[in-house]
Homo-oligomer: A and B are copies of this chain.
Amino acid sequence: MALEHAILVSLLEKPGSGYELARRFERSIGYFWTATHQQIYRVLKRMESDGWVDVRDVAQYGRPDKKEYSVADPGRAALAAWLTEATEPESVRHDLAVKIRGAAFGDPAALISEVERHRQAHTDRLAHYLAGEARDFGDPPPHGGPDAERELQHVVLRGGIAYERMMIAWLDDVLATLAHFDTDH
């Protein structure tokens, strides 16, 4: 389980409230690990009682008060320990792959629009990643020497870009394959 660890990383990058974390999980870190606000509040509470994070009440004007969480030393230590642990690659769940194999027992052409929908989603996400890359990593680093946080965020983003490009190419292959079974053909 890595939700705790994903939250620790996000809070190290920038302290914030449960609400703010939930927003980050809709973008940025959320592209590699998903979580809803309900999950986040529950886990934050557990992490607080375990002493992994500190809380600070922040009064805001024109907005509800919030609780700002930041990583405490035991949280830092827990993250460092997890980093060197061997974790298995997460199990894969590609329902499209199941659908494609299932299409052999129904109408393969009926899948085309669903595959096109997925292709569009991956194209959109790729454009979004590329825009983020140009924005955040387009210029040479503000100061000389390697900046670990920046370079590691960039290599993770490059992974997302490579994944989306691979998926788009594969979905084109899938569409070409499905076209063989189109009844109009």
Cβ distance A108 to chain B, nearest Cβ, rounded Å: 6
A147 CA to B10 CA, complexed, in Å: 49
Q: Which residue of B lies closest to A5 (CB)?
A: B98
The minimal Cβ–Cβ distance linking A136 to chain B, given in whole angstroms, is 13
A180 and B151 contact, Cβ closer than 8 Å, known pairs A34-B93, A76-B105, A86-B114: yes
With A121-B89, A158-B170, A180-B146 as given contacts, are A83 and B99 in contact (CB-CB < 8 Å)? yes
| A103 in complex: contacting residue of B83, B89, B103, B174, CB < 8 Å | B83
Per-residue B-contact encoding for A90-134, CB less than 8 Å = 1, 0 else = 111111111111111111101100100110011000000000000
Q: From known contacts A32-B94, A33-B95, A94-B33, infer whether A101 and B9 are also in contact, taking CB-CB under 8 Å.
A: yes
Q: How far is the CB of A156 from chain B (nearest CB, A)?
A: 5
**B29, B107, B152, B169: which contacts A108 (Cβ < 8 A)?**
B152
Complex: A106 Cα to B97 Cα, angstroms = 38
Q: A72 at the A/B interface (Cβ < 8 Å)?
A: no
Asked whether A104 lies within 8 Å of B166 as measured between CB atoms, the reply is no
Total identical chains: 2
Closest to A94 in B: B32
Q: In whole angstroms, what is the CA distance A86 to B96 when docked?
A: 10
Question: Provided the pairs A90-B93, A114-B86 are in contact, do residues A6 and B98 lie with their beta carbons within 8 angstroms?
Answer: yes
B105 in contact with A12 (CB, 8 Å): yes
Given known contacts A5-B95, A100-B155, what 12 new A-B pairs fall within 8 Å (CB)?
Answer: A5-B99, A6-B98, A31-B92, A32-B94, A34-B93, A79-B106, A87-B95, A87-B99, A100-B156, A101-B152, A155-B173, A162-B169
